[in-house]
């Protein structure tokens, strides 16, 4: 059986064509004759190809919009905002740079990442069409580039620990693949619990891994459906893909050379059952769930620390504590807490010094700091980068609601324990 001609990500000529099409997003004449229209499904009916291409571009841009509640400074939000300003709103490069406070070199790096993300979505959506002789102008990409891209993503995210809602990602991938499913006469049968705990890792990494595997599976199935079964255990999430192949399948023909580095980047593994003859195949992805969030309590009063620990008993939160800021600095480096509850009146280097130190370092500035003090200085604390301000004494409701506001709702079902 011939292997897929394009097992990796989009080649540079395709990315450049996507950029050109985005620049002419509101020019129907340019889109009608654009080279990318060659990859559109002929089942579009009476709609002009230019309009179908514009719709595909808008859908790809919408798919990159970060989930509600994403921090304004998060990379996903910044990349989407760059695309929105440049192509949806039509601003020139200098205006986008000023709006996002980017230097010229920063803009070009961020723009390339954003453009690559759009091109990858379209590449995976149109992959079966791109594997035809008409697409022979595209060179076969080096699958080693996938690992390079994953490494760049991990390096760009150094210093923070993102989590991903897998159910939202699964549903978005199913929606994105609907046109391909309709063309192939295949249904994705998604079976999942009503809610799923978050997993550790970047949303886009999981999205591209699933998109790659399912797009390859859709292109090769002989049945009317592909089963996607999601199950959870105490520490892992399992996604099982099952289908029937019309010819013997290999890891390459199911997209594993592209998807495996992405799954590995998420800390996961993939197991396969691939029969040597046409028949039923299975891919099983196992991904680690996000660990229970950790709160660092920095307060020189041991009684207050014990009070906070009691407040968090029976919740998913873990705790660690320090009565001096020097000890707290070591705990931040060692454990990378998800949030810090910080007193201001402390001996030696006080809470003000510690807050400024945290916000001055790129490695720690994204950690939410909740100042908790007998002082009534919320404006000063917030101006220095604190995420919230609580005035002592506090109660359990205040603490939990504030943690949810600055960090988000933690996964349920995990007992609190000291690290």
CATH topology for the 161-290 domain: Heat Shock Protein 90 (3.30.565)
Q: What is the pLDDT of residue 285?
A: 94
Q: What is the pLDDT of residue 17?
A: 84
Distance CA 171, CA 78 (A): 23
Q: What is the pLDDT of residue 189?
A: 93
Please identify, in words, the CATH class of the domain defined by 294-407: alpha beta
Q: What is the pLDDT of residue 149?
A: 53
Q: What is the pLDDT of residue 158?
A: 43
Domain boundaries, the chain: 1-141, 161-290, 294-407
Whether the Cβ atoms of residue 295 and residue 338 lie closer than 8 Å to each other: yes
Interstrand relation of 294-298 and 339-342 (parallel, antiparallel or unpaired): parallel
DSSP helix/strand/coil, 416: coil
Q: What is the pLDDT of residue 70?
A: 60
Backbone angles phi, psi at 335, to 5 degrees: -110, -15
DSSP helix/strand/coil, 260: helix
Whether the Cβ atoms of residue 97 and residue 103 lie closer than 8 Å to each other: yes
- DSSP summary character for residue 363: T
- Which residues touch 238 (CB under 8 Å, ≥6 apart)? 230, 231, 232, 284, 285, 286, 287
Whether the Cβ atoms of residue 286 and residue 238 lie closer than 8 Å to each other: yes
Q: What is the pLDDT of residue 354?
A: 95
Q: Which residue intervals of 84-137 are DSSP H helices?
A: 93-100, 104-130
Can you say how many angstroms the Cα of residue 89 is from the centroid of all Cα atoms in its chain? 24
Q: Name the strand (E) or helix (H) holding 372.
A: strand 369-373
State the burial class of residue 310 (Cβ atoms within 10 Å of its Cβ: 0-12, 13-18, 19+).
exposed
Distance CA 110, CA 73 (A): 13
Q: What is the pTM of this model?
A: 0.47
pLDDT in tens, the chain (419 residues): 333 333 456 777 788 888 888 988 888 877 887 888 877 765 445 667 888 888 889 888 888 887 666 665 667 778 888 998 999 888 888 888 888 888 888 888 888 888 888 988 888 887 654 444 333 333 333 445 555 555 555 444 444 456 788 898 899 899 988 888 888 888 999 999 988 888 877 788 888 889 889 988 888 787 788 999 999 988 899 999 998 887 777 887 788 888 888 888 888 899 888 877 778 889 999 999 877 788 999 999 999 999 999 998 878 788 999 999 999 999 998 888 989 999 999 888 899 999 999 999 988 988 999 999 999 999 999 999 999 999 999 999 999 999 988 886 555 444 333 33
Of the candidates 27, 26, 33, which has an alpha carbon nearest to the alpha carbon of residue 49?
Answer: 33
Q: What is the pLDDT of residue 314?
A: 77
Distance CA 121, CA 211 (A): 8
């Amino acid at each position: 059986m011939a292997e897929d001609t394009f097992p990796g990500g989009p080649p540079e000529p395709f990315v450049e064509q996507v950029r050109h099409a985005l620049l002419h997003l509101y020019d129907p004449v340019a889109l009608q004759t654009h080279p990318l229209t060659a990859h559109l499904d002929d089942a579009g009916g009476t709609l002009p190809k230019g309009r179908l291409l514009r719709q595909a571009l808008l859908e790809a841009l919408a798919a990159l919009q970060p989930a509600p509640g994403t921090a304004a400074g998060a990379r996903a939000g910044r990349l989407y905002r760059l695309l929105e300003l440049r192509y949806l709103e039509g601003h020139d490069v200098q205006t986008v740079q000023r709006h996002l406070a980017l230097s010229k070199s920063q803009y070009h790096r961020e723009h390339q990442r954003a453009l690559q993300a759009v091109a990858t979505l379209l590449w995976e959506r149109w992959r079966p069409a791109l594997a035809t002789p008409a697409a022979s102008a595209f060179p076969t990409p080096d699958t080693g580039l996938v690992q390079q891209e994953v490494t760049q993503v991990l390096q760009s995210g150094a210093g923070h620990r993102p989590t991903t809602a897998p159910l939202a990602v699964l549903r978005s991938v199913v929606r994105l693949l609907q046109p391909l499913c309709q063309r192939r006469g295949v249904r994705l049968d998604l079976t999942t619990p009503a809610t799923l705990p978050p997993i550790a890792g970047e949303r886009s990494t999981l999205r591209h891994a699933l998109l790659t595997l399912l797009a390859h599976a859709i292109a090769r199935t002989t049945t009317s459906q592909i089963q996607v079964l999601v199950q959870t255990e105490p520490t892992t999430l399992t996604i099982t893909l099952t289908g029937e192949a019309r010819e013997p399948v290999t890891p390459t023909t199911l997209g594993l050379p592209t998807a495996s580095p992405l799954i590995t980047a998420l800390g996961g593994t993939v197991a396969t059952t691939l029969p040597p003859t046409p028949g039923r195949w299975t891919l099983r992805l196992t991904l680690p769930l996000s660990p229970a969030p950790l709160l660092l309590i920095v307060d020189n009063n041991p009684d207050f620390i014990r009070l906070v620990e009691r407040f968090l008993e029976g919740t998913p939160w873990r705790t660690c504590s320090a009565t001096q800021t020097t000890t707290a600095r070591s705990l931040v480096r060692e454990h990378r807490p998800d949030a810090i509850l910080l007193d201001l009146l402390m001996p030696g280097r006080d809470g003000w010094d510690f807050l400024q130190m945290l916000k001055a370092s790129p490695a720690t500035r994204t950690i939410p700091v909740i100042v908790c003090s007998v002082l009534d200085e919320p404006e000063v604390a917030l101006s220095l980068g604190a995420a919230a301000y609580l005035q002592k004494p506090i109660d359990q409701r205040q603490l939990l609601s504030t943690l949810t506001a600055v960090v988000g709702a933690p996964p349920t079902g995990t007992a609190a324990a000291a690290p």
